[in-house]
Amino acid sequence: MLTIKNGYKKYDGREIFRNVNLNFEKNHTYGIIGVNGSGKTVLLKALAGYIKLTSGQIQQGERTIREKNNYLEKAGIFIGHPQFLAHLSLWDNLELIRKMCENHKGIDLEEWLAYFDLTHYKQHKFKNLSMGTKQKMGIIQAFMPSSEILILDEPFNPLDQESVNLTYQLIQKYQKNRIIILTSHVQNDIELLCDQIFRIENEQIIDDCSPH
């Protein structure tokens, strides 16, 4: 279980959210919606341990995230614009990540590239790739470890419709025995995939609806 208790975050002098109490459990997919600038990405960064809460706690089981500068464990994370080593190829970047995964022997990188139709870009340097291709690389690196938790920030941008459909299918495939938390500015994306939806509004997080 992943839990945020009495979460409060102030960022650059601005109150982002306050009094947030949420529980995230296995076998559920959670959606977080809100207008641009409402704090969706800030919340995901806090859950991942990338930033500290101003006050409150985030716990993964018995561990308190960022208590000793520790991060979320056993998690595949996609937040913000994906950044890889600019001078390395698409293949070499993903191969570096594959080697760091506990399940590296079971990861077929060729299969992942074929899934998103990226094989013909494998030797292209990251700095020369389109935004859509970089987005697909970010999605692949989040899913490759087959982690217990997936945190996905706007995974459908800026993908074409075919790639959006492939990403939908990937999320659906990975829903069993995992916690998935995702954001999107398109509510329909969230409603199709999520068991529970939270809305960030006026620095509060509201249980918006449970579509399933």
- Partnered with residue 153 across adjacent β-strands are 183
Q: For the whole model, what pTM was predicted? A: 0.92
Backbone angles phi, psi at 149, to 5 degrees: -130, 135
Cα torsion through 134, 135, 139, 144, rounded to 10? -10
CA distances 170 to 2, 112, 140, 164, Å, are 22, 11, 10, 10
Question: With a cut of 70, which residues of the chain have pLDDT below it?
Answer: 208-212
Instruction: Render pLDDT for 163-211 as a digit per residue (tens, 0 to 9).
Output: 999 999 999 999 999 999 999 877 788 889 999 999 998 888 988 655 5
Q: What pLDDT was estimated at residue 210? A: 55
Handedness of CA 124, 101, 150, 42 (dihedral sign): negative
Q: What pLDDT was estimated at residue 209? A: 57
Q: What pLDDT was estimated at residue 13? A: 86
Cα torsion through 36, 21, 1, 54, rounded to 10? 70
144 CB-near residues (< 8 Å, 6+ apart): 76, 94, 97, 98, 101, 107, 112
CA distance linking residue 42 with residue 121, whole number of Å: 32
